[in-house]
Chain A
C-alpha cells in the first residue's frame, strides 16, 4: 500500500518535471519577448517583465514579419488546397477503381516517405531555376505538394478503403460517372480524413524551412522561417526581439493545435503508425 503511494507520488513528480522541461521554455520565450532590450540586460533572466509591453511585437511586424506572415500564408494555403485535391484524386483511384497497378501505385507513393529531402535539394533547385520559378513564392508550392503527398495519400487511402461500396453502387446504377462519384460521394464522405490531411499539411508547410532556404533569395519573399532565421542574424544580440519573432512565427500553429489537437497529432504520427 505504502509502495503504491510512493509510486503514484513519483509518477506525479516525474510528470511535473517533464512539464517544466517541455513547457517552461515557452513561458521563458514569451516572458523575454515582453522585455525591453535594456530591461533584458539589466534584470535577471528569471524576472518577469516590469510591464507587459508589446513594443517588440510592433517593431517585429514593422521589420518584416507581416510580410513573412502573408508570404507563408499564401504558399501554405495554395499548397494545402492543391494537395487535398490531388491526393484525394489519387487515393480515390487507388482504393475505388479497379486497375492493374493500384497496389504498385500505392507502394510507390508510400515509399516516398523514406526519401530524405536533402538528397533531392540540388535537382529541385535546378528544376526550379529551369522553369523560371526560382525566387518566387509559387516555386515553393510544387516541392511542398510533392513532399506532403506520401503521408496524405497514406491517410486518405486508409480512410477511403473503409467507405462501404453500397452508395457507390447505387450511384453507378443511376448512371453517375466515376468523376461524379468522386465529387459527389467519395470526396464528401472522406471529410474527416481530408480535414486531418489539411491540418497536418498546414502545420508542416507553415514551419517549412529547407525548400525556402534554397529556392528564395530576396527578403521580400521570405517565408516565416527564413525571416526568423535572418532575424536572428540581424538582431543577434537583441534577444527580446528575436524571441518576439519566435512567438509570432509559432502562434498560428499553436492556436490551430489548441483547437484541433487530435487532427494535428493524428496527422503528425499517421505515417509512423502503419500496422
Chain B
C-alpha cells in the first residue's frame, strides 16, 4: 500500500515538475502565429510610421514628419469624420432596430425560428459580396432602389447614390447597417432569453403593460449585453473597410473615405508605406481609446 502511494506521489511530482516546460511547448505554435501576425505588427507599425518607405528595401528614418503631416492632412480628417458618422449612425440605427427585432422575436410569436434564420442571412455574406450587392441596389440606372422609387412615384428622389459626393457615405452606411443588424439582434436575443421569466410574471401581476416591463425589466437586465454591443459597434465602425472599398473605393474624390480605405490606398496603391503606417497606428489608437473611454464612462455611472 505504502509503495503504491509513494509511486503515485513520484509520478504526480514528476508531472508537476515539468508543467512549465509542457505549457511552453504546447503554447509555442499558438504564440508563434499570434506574435508574428497579430501582436508584433502593432509596435512594428509604430516604427514604420517614422520612416519614408516605399515597401521595398529599407526606409529612410524621418522622425515625426509623417505624424506632423497627418495632423495637417485634410483627407485623413475627412476619413476620421466619416468613421464617426458611421459610429453615430450605427448606434442610432443598428442597435435600436436590432433590439426591437430581438424583443419581437422573443415575444412568443409564430414562425420566430424562420424569421431568425432569414434575418441572419446578411451576416453570412463576405464583405465583398455585401459591397457588390449594394453596388447593384444603388446602381443609378438598373438598381433596385431607383426602380423602386420610380415604381412608387417618388421619381424626384432618384439619385446616383454612390456617385454623389454628398450622399455616398450615407449610402454605404445603410448597407453596413443592413449587414450588422442581425449580429446585434442575436446578441440581444441571447440576452433576453437569459432573463428569468418570473420577473415578467411578477410585473404582469402588478398590472404592468408591455412597455413598462420592457423599460423596467428588459432594458436593465440587458445592460451588460447592450454595453458589449455598443463597444463592438463602435470598434467595428472605426475599422470598417471592405464594404466601402468595394462600393465606392472611398470616392468620389474621397467623399466616402474612411481610415482603413485611406490607409490601404496610401500603402498599397501609392506605396507610401511609412505614411500608411502612420494612418494604421492612428486607427489603432483611435479605436482603442474610444472603447476605453466608453468603458470608463459606463463604469462610472453604475
Footprint of B on A, CB under 8 Å? 7, 11-12, 14-15, 18-19, 21-23, 25-26, 28-29, 32, 40-41, 44-46, 85-87, 89-90, 92-93, 97-102, 105, 108-109, 112, 114-127, 142-143, 145-147, 149-150, 153, 172-173, 175, 177-179, 182, 203, 206-210, 213-214, 224-225, 228-229, 232, 239, 242-243, 245-246, 249-250, 253-254, 257, 261, 264-265, 268-269, 272-275
Given that A122-B276, A147-B37 are known contacts, is A116 also in contact with B287, CB under 8 Å in the complex?
yes
Assess whether A229 is in contact with B284, with CB atoms less than 8 Å apart.
no
How far is B144's CA from A25's CA once the two chains are assembled, in angstroms? 9
Q: Which residue of B lies closest to A118 (CB)?
A: B260
Question: Complex: how many Å from CA A102 to CA B34?
Answer: 16
A175 touches B132 (CB 8 A): no
Is B128's CB under 8 angstroms from A228's CB? yes
Report B104-131 CB contacts with A as 1/0, cut-off 8 Å.
Answer: 1101010100010111111111111101
CB pair A175–B11 under 8 Å, yes or no, is: yes
Contacts of A173 in B (CB 8 A): 8
Q: Report A104 CB to chain B, min CB distance, Å.
A: 11
- Residue interface mask B7-50, A partner, CB < 8 A = 1: 01001100110011011001101110110111111101100100
Which 8 A/B pairs are nearest by Cβ-Cβ distance? A207-B126, A146-B37, A123-B41, A120-B41, A119-B284, A90-B30, A116-B239, A123-B44
Specify which chain B residues have a CB less than 8 angstroms from the CB of A86 in the assembled complex.
29-30, 33
Q: Quick one: closest B residue to A111, CB to CB?
A: B39
Chain B residues within an 8 Å CB radius of A22: 118-119, 121-122, 178, 181-182
The DSSP consensus for interface residues of chain A is helix
CA A270 to CA B283, docked complex, whole Å: 25
Question: Inside 8 A of B109's CB, which chain A residues have their CB?
Answer: 11-12, 15
For the complex, is B87 an interface residue (Cβ under 8 Å from A)?
no
Asked if B241 is at the interface (CB within 8 A of a chain A CB), the reply is: yes
| Chain A binder among B68-76, B88-96, B135-143, B195-203 | B135-143
Q: Is the CB of A120 within 8 A of B118?
A: no
B130 shortest CB reach to chain A, Å: 9
Interface hit among B158-166, B212-220, B224-232: B224-232
- Distance from B271 Cβ to chain A, minimum over Cβ atoms (Å): 11
Min CB gap B273→A, angstroms: 5
In the complex formed, the residue of B with least CB distance to A243 is: B136
User: Closest approach, in angstroms, between the C-beta of B55 and any C-beta of chain A?
Assistant: 7
Of the A-B pairs whose beta carbons lie under 8 Å apart in the complex, a sample of 17, sorted by A's number, is: A15-B104, A15-B111, A45-B142, A93-B22, A93-B27, A99-B19, A122-B45, A122-B267, A172-B11, A172-B12, A207-B127, A208-B126, A228-B132, A246-B132, A250-B124, A261-B117, A273-B228
